[in-house]
Structure 1
Amino acid sequence: MAWNQPGNGNNNDRDPWKNQGGREQGPPDLDEAVKNLLAKLGFGGKKGGAGRSSGGSSGGLPTKGLGIIAVLALVVWFIAGFYTVKEAERGVVLRFGQYSDLVESGLHWRPVFIDSVETVDVSNVRQFQSDGFMLTQDENVVQVELDVQYRVVNPRDYLYAVEDADNSLQQATDSALRFVVGHSTMDEVLTVGRENVRAQTLELLETIIAPYQLGIQVVDVNLLPARPPEAVKDAFDDAIAAQEDEQRFIREAEAYAREIEPLARGQVRRLLQEAQAYREQTVLRAQGEVARFNELLPQYKAAPEVTRQRLYLETLERIYAENAKVFVDVEGSNNMMYLPLDKILEQQRNRPTQNRSNDSEAMMNSRSQSNSTSNQSSSQQSSSSGRVSDRSGGRG
């Protein structure tokens, strides 16, 4: 039955918050509860005869409490010593603030309050940009941007060789870039020499950071397109376009030269071969003529008139064989008749088939006219020969 239930009489006498002596009592005191707990663990107790009456048993209770606390503290200290290093990281172990060891990725343990571990990412490639307005060798100002990619290869040097390895690398990059740009012309930085500027900057940067032992390896540098100041940007764009046109024309000329040169060389070789053949042909022909005349010389000496007439006839035969024109020489007459056979043959080839009959008739008429002319010439020759014979007979 509850202490405050109706019908229980004097409920005030059953109030649990009041002491037996009749004094009112509030909520339990927290300090008193802590003292009681410590007393149970052996860190304190009640003063007076009760404490003295416990005798030797009071000394064992604190010792037992201290052992439990020590064990609990040791367990907590041991569990707190476990730590994990990620796959892309390496751990630098410091013992009392001094470098002790380098640990790989995985689960490790360290004594807390004795060793401390600082992890460094060594797998991922980091990058930053160095840019600014720089003065070139030909006293022009350009805005240059350089993208640098690097990674950590030595965590100990990266953390403790210098105060801030990343900042030191940025300063070294800016110094190397300004040095290379300052020893290059503006055209080289903007157009044709960009690759040389990039390579020289990378080489100089590696030389600068080597003595400092930053624990950093520069993977690559990339020179972004440089820009002139905005005030002269249009003029430089025109200059760059002109240089590009120049390079294009040069490539087109080289392609044309590669196309024409083999043809020209072939023509030269053909002309040389033709000249060589002509020379050999001329020399052989001359040698043949000399041999021929050497063979004819004894015959000419033996019969000069006959040999001369023979040479004359052979020459005329060779000339007329290569000529389409026909000449008829009538003996005893000063007239020489020309028969245009070449023209007649050419007309025959050019005219259609239905007109060839007319051409044949024309040829027959021309032949009859030539025959009549030859007959007249023969009669004149016979009459003249008769006169000559009469004259000769009269003379005789």
Structure 2
Amino acid sequence: MAWNEPGGGNNKGPRDPWGGGDQGPPDLDEALKKLQEKFGGLFGGGSGRSGGSSGGGSGISASLLGLVAVVVVGIWFFMGLYQIDEQERAVVLRFGKYVDTVGPGLHWNPPMIDEVIKDNITKVRQATLDEIMLTKDENIVEVKMSLQYVIDDLTKFVLKVRDPEISLQHAAQSALRHVVGDTRMDMVLTEGRAQIAADVRTRLQEYLNMYETGILISKINIDESKPPRQVQAAFDDVIKAREDEERVKNEAQAYANGVIPEARGSAQRQIEDASAYKEQVVANAQGEAERFTKLLTEYRKAPEVTRQRLYIDAVQEVYGNTSKVLVDVEGGNNMMYLPLDKLAPGQTSSAPRRMTLDSNTLRQITDAVTDQLRRDAAVSTSSSRGGR
């Protein structure tokens, strides 16, 4: 008997199928059957008609519809499940309005109500530009530039700009033209590429931050910069001339690096030689002054002896470099020639050589010659007196 039918031992109205009053827990089969009957009544099942066949067909239809409804609800539920990887982020929109930005993990949002837009924020993306523009000195150059970027803020990347990559292209063109327009042609074509790339990156990032694109520029390269084909030959000549200039400068610098240290070394050597000569002259002068002072002291003690010794030393110094000696004897009228090279031992006439005598040997020879001359003079004096 249905729960809304009167009956039983009480007349209190229809019974509560969910266990109201004194009843216990409801029977699940009976509750499912009642639910099927309810769905059957909604879809035109014969509620007012009687008959076993029509009532059975209505129950089968209601059961099938309930099963379909459960399957549809399950499919709808599983459609709302989605997985966010570690490198991804997702923006959730509900009826087109921003709700949240979710991170990695398993999430669920009601399908057909919420829209989930996910993207990889660690992927390095690339873009290229090939532009012809004017430089600061009003020359035309062709510049090829490549840039790398990542998504820094997915919310801004999805919602703030309609097409962020097109905006990136336009901003890159503007930044490149601005920087190249402030640079001379020779810098653009030669050693100024790195500085141009750095300036373009700074200016481009400022543009993207101002537009709120959510893009972060990681690297910019100036791949190629060249003049137009019409003036390529003239520019090649300019490059060759500049290379020759650098080569000549390097050769001159190498020559200067070789000559300057050598000149400095020579100058330092001359300074050292002059210093040594100065010290030598000063030392000799001081020695001569000291020797003269001591000689003066001895001369005052014995003038005659000192005078004789000075004379002998002078004669030794004069004749020390010759092999011939002339002796002048006091009281005689002849000068005697002594071949000292013959008198020296080990000396041959065929191979004359320079003889060096010390002061003692020269003094002995001088004394012997003087004594011999005196004896000869005495003998000749005696002979002359006897003859008279």
The TM-score bracket by the shorter chain reads 0.5 to 0.7
CA deviation vs aligned residue, 1:324-376 (integer Å, no higher than 9, x gap) = x42332645689899999xxxxxxxxxxxxxxxxx967249xxxxxxxxxxxx
Aligned runs of 1:1-396 on 2, under 5 Å?
A: 43-44=43-44, 52-53=49-50, 61=59, 66-255=65-254, 257-258=256-257, 264-301=263-300, 306-318=305-317, 320-321=319-320, 323=321, 325-329=322-326, 331=328, 362-363=350-351
Question: CA–CA distance in 2 between the matches of 1:196 and 1:335?
Answer: 99
SS at match of 1:214: coil
State whether residues 145 and 224 of structure 2, in contact with CA within 8 Å, keep that contact through their aligned partners in structure 1: no
State whether residues 142 and 225 of structure 2, in contact with CA within 8 Å, keep that contact through their aligned partners in structure 1: yes
Structure 1: gaps of 5 or more residues: 1-39, 342-358, 365-380
Structure 2: gaps of 5 or more residues: 1-39, 353-372
% same residue: 41
State whether residues 319 and 325 of structure 2, in contact with CA within 8 Å, keep that contact through their aligned partners in structure 1: no
Question: CA–CA distance in 1 between the matches of 2:118 and 2:129?
Answer: 27
SS at match of 2:176: helix
CA deviation vs aligned residue, 1:285-318 (integer Å, no higher than 9, x gap) = 2111111112222444566565444334324434
Q: For residues 147 and 311 of structure 1, do their structure 2 counterparts lie closer, same or farther at Cα, with a shift above 3 Å needed?
A: farther
SS at match of 1:210: helix
Question: CA–CA distance in 2 between the matches of 1:207 and 1:313?
Answer: 104
Give the total of aligned pairs.
318
- The alpha-carbon deviation at position 130 of structure 1 amounts to 1.9
Instruction: Give the CA RMSD over aligned residues.
Output: 4.2
CA deviation vs aligned residue, 1:195-237 (integer Å, no higher than 9, x gap) = 2222222222222222222111111111123101112212212
- The alpha-carbon deviation at position 84 of structure 1 amounts to 3.6
State whether residues 152 and 215 of structure 1, in contact with CA within 8 Å, keep that contact through their aligned partners in structure 2: yes
Compute the TM-score of the two structures, normalised by the length of structure 1: 0.66
State whether residues 131 and 143 of structure 2, in contact with CA within 8 Å, keep that contact through their aligned partners in structure 1: yes
State whether residues 142 and 226 of structure 2, in contact with CA within 8 Å, keep that contact through their aligned partners in structure 1: yes
- The alpha-carbon deviation at position 81 of structure 1 amounts to 1.9
SS at match of 2:219: strand
Question: CA–CA distance in 2 between the matches of 1:336 and 1:190?
Answer: 95
Compute the TM-score of the two structures, normalised by the length of structure 2: 0.67
State whether residues 41 and 65 of structure 1, in contact with CA within 8 Å, keep that contact through their aligned partners in structure 2: no
Question: CA–CA distance in 2 between the matches of 1:340 and 1:231?
Answer: 96
Q: For residues 363 and 281 of structure 1, do their structure 2 counterparts lie closer, same or farther at Cα, with a shift above 3 Å needed?
A: closer
CA deviation vs aligned residue, 1:240-277 (integer Å, no higher than 9, x gap) = 22323333444454455555655555544444333333
Q: For residues 307 and 138 of structure 1, do their structure 2 counterparts lie closer, same or farther at Cα, with a shift above 3 Å needed?
A: farther
Question: CA–CA distance in 2 between the matches of 1:251 and 1:44?
Answer: 103
Corresponding residue for 2:24?
A: none
Question: CA–CA distance in 2 between the matches of 1:228 and 1:338?
Answer: 97
SS at match of 1:362: coil
Corresponding residue for 1:3?
A: none
Question: CA–CA distance in 1 between the matches of 2:138 and 2:115?
Answer: 54
SS at match of 1:225: strand
- The alpha-carbon deviation at position 43 of structure 1 amounts to 3.8
